[in-house]
Amino acid sequence: MKFIGIFLLAILGLCAVLVLIAVIKTLLTPAKRSEWKPRVQPDREAEYAGKLSRMVQYETVSLPNVDQREKFLGFHRLLEELFPLVHERLEKTEIDGNLLFFWKGKGAERPVVLMSHQDVVPAEGEWNHAPFSGDICDGKVWGRGSADTKCSVMAFFQAAEELLKQGYVPEQDVYLSSSCTEEVGGDGCPKLVSELKRRGVRPYLVCDEGGAIVEEPIGGIKGHYAMIGVLEKGLGDLRLSARSNGGHSSYPPKNSPIARLSAFVQDIEKRNPMKVAFEPEVEAMFSTLSAYGPFHYRLLFGNLWLFKPLLKKLMPILSNQAAALLKTTVAFTMQSGSDAANVLPQEATLTLNLRYIPHQDMEESNRIIGELAKKHDLELSVLWAYPSCPPVKIDSAAYHLVEQVIGEVFPDLPACPYVMTGGTDARFYQEICDACIRFSPVIYGPEQMKGMHGLNENIDTVSLPGAVDFYKAVIQRNR
């Protein structure tokens, strides 16, 4: 017993020493502040906002399994009016409403793809500005697609238009890519990728939506940060089915279909089986942002070598957003049962939406769900699923190119790797490109984040000149 007591005291003493080292290290490391503000350029803002407004006014809501090529061909005619030099001098390929423009450079060793989608989600509910008005008011362009993501489409077309007007010839080949089925998970982008494969093109860099210039990316981290998406989680829709002989509700049996599904849900909610871990990219994100936070952020996240085990326990409890960065998430989204209030269902179903993380990817996560389903006498079917994307190496030349451009176009704006919990078209490019970076060079504050796929979507006009300059710099610096 005496020996055990001495051992425990030694362990406690070592822990105290390690914590003291972390505290001293934090105190000696100067705190940083992000004080970057966008540069106001009224004339350019007005020009770009006017073009974006016209694009928003053209309704491009995509619908699953519906041929909408004619609608998007009309949108293409608007693009030709707004960006005449792009259409005159670049090689245009249209595939079922999806667009690919080729700008031949002096070399073809490091081709770059600038991309974002034309389609938007439906606009329901009561809006302060009509969803397809494209109103320019209060320093914003209002309407569905203004932020997600016609702003990016406008910006890279405008970047090419201005460089063409100057007579610029890029050092490397440039492709402008825009699908019309992103919002419905359609086959638009795969068709464009297949076309590039047919031509033997392997992009050096793909730049799509995802991250952005985000205001307060994590609670307590004040200011603006360029959040560069380097990892995209996978996605799966799974269905659980519980069967029985049905019957009258006046003499209900135990373990009815809905009871078994409910027990499954309780198991997930109370004893979540998904492993919590810090991906290297998540660790890099928190390590970078910690320097800009209050003391306790700098202490905990600036010393992950010591506090990582504690944070793995606390973060999923304190924040849903943090949980999504550390594990495969399981969301219960749809449920069905009997068609009558007094009839037991012969079959009840529950739909799960999973977002897979690399350390516990699609196959392993689905296996865990399947084993738990068997425990509750449930049948599992995978409606559709795809694994997480290979991360972009944050020490790669392509990533450093994006960092360099951000530093040049947005001086003093901190840049940080970021993990995408949602899906993008960029995942289809992973087959032919090792550096699919998710970053839209526009400012997303709380209002813009709330408006995407919601009410009153808008984008600040002050962010548009910087977006155009970002794409111009990517083209010019890729040598």
Residue 344 sits in a domain whose CATH number is: 3.30.70.360
In our burial notation (b when 16+ CB lie closer than 10 A, e otherwise), range 353-379 reads: ebbbbbbbebeebbebbbebbeebebe
The pLDDT-based confidence of 10 (bands split at 50, 70, 90) is low
Looking at the fold, whether 78 and 130 belong to one and the same domain comes out as: yes
Q: What is the pLDDT of residue 52?
A: 98
Q: What is the mean pLDDT of residues 378-401?
A: 96
The pLDDT-based confidence of 414 (bands split at 50, 70, 90) is very high
- The share of the chain scoring above pLDDT 70, in percent, equals 97
Two tokens, residue 443: 């400012």
Q: What is the pLDDT of residue 252?
A: 78
Report pLDDT digits (tens) over 231-287.
999 999 999 999 987 766 677 788 889 999 999 999 999 999 999 999 999 999 999
Q: What is the pLDDT of residue 421?
A: 86
Looking at the fold, whether 218 and 314 belong to one and the same domain comes out as: no
Q: What is the count of structural domains for the chain? A: 2
CATH number of 69's domain? 3.40.630.10
Looking at the fold, whether 335 and 394 belong to one and the same domain comes out as: no
Lowest-confidence segment of 145-154, 245-254, 292-301 by average pLDDT: 245-254
Q: What is the mean pLDDT of residues 62-67?
A: 94
In a domain, 13, yes or no: no
Measure the CA–CA gap between 159 and 85, rounded to whole angstroms: 11
Q: What is the mean pLDDT of residues 406-411?
A: 97
How far, CA to CA in Å, does 164 sit from each of 36, 50, 86, 170, 173?
30, 20, 7, 10, 14
In a domain, 418, yes or no: yes
Q: What is the pLDDT of residue 248?
A: 63
Peptide bond into 328 cis (omega under 30): no
Q: What is the pLDDT of residue 7?
A: 60
Whole-structure pTM value: 0.92
Measure the CA–CA gap between 353 and 370, rounded to whole angstroms: 14
The pLDDT-based confidence of 8 (bands split at 50, 70, 90) is low
Continuous H helices in 29-95: 42-57, 69-82, 84-89
Question: Which of 386, 421, 452 corresponds to the end of one domain?
Answer: 386
Lowest-confidence segment of 226-230, 333-337, 340-344 by average pLDDT: 340-344
Looking at the fold, whether 206 and 263 belong to one and the same domain comes out as: no
Question: Which of 367, 386, 405 corresponds to the end of one domain?
Answer: 386
Q: What is the mean pLDDT of residues 71-80?
A: 98
Measure the CA–CA gap between 326 and 304, rounded to whole angstroms: 14
Looking at the fold, whether 403 and 337 belong to one and the same domain comes out as: no
Place of tokens 């944070």: 311
In a domain, 23, yes or no: no
Res. 2: pLDDT tops 70:
no
**SS3 category, 177:** strand
Q: What is the mean pLDDT of residues 96-121?
A: 97
Looking at the fold, whether 405 and 312 belong to one and the same domain comes out as: no
Q: What is the pLDDT of residue 5?
A: 62
Looking at the fold, whether 134 and 86 belong to one and the same domain comes out as: yes
Q: What is the pLDDT of residue 318?
A: 79
Looking at the fold, whether 227 and 240 belong to one and the same domain comes out as: no
Looking at the fold, whether 88 and 227 belong to one and the same domain comes out as: yes
Residue span of the structural domain in which 346 resides: 234-247+254-386
Measure the CA–CA gap between 445 and 223, rounded to whole angstroms: 10
Looking at the fold, whether 205 and 242 belong to one and the same domain comes out as: no
Measure the CA–CA gap between 288 and 44, rounded to whole angstroms: 33
Res. 167: pLDDT tops 70:
yes
Looking at the fold, whether 171 and 195 belong to one and the same domain comes out as: yes
Looking at the fold, whether 342 and 195 belong to one and the same domain comes out as: no
- Burial of 253 (C-beta count, 10 Å sphere; 0-12/13-18/19+): exposed
Question: Which of 386, 421, 444 corresponds to the end of one domain?
Answer: 386
Q: What is the mean pLDDT of residues 77-103?
A: 98
Res. 3: pLDDT tops 80:
no
Instruction: State the CB neighbour count (10 A cutoff) for residue 70.
Output: 8
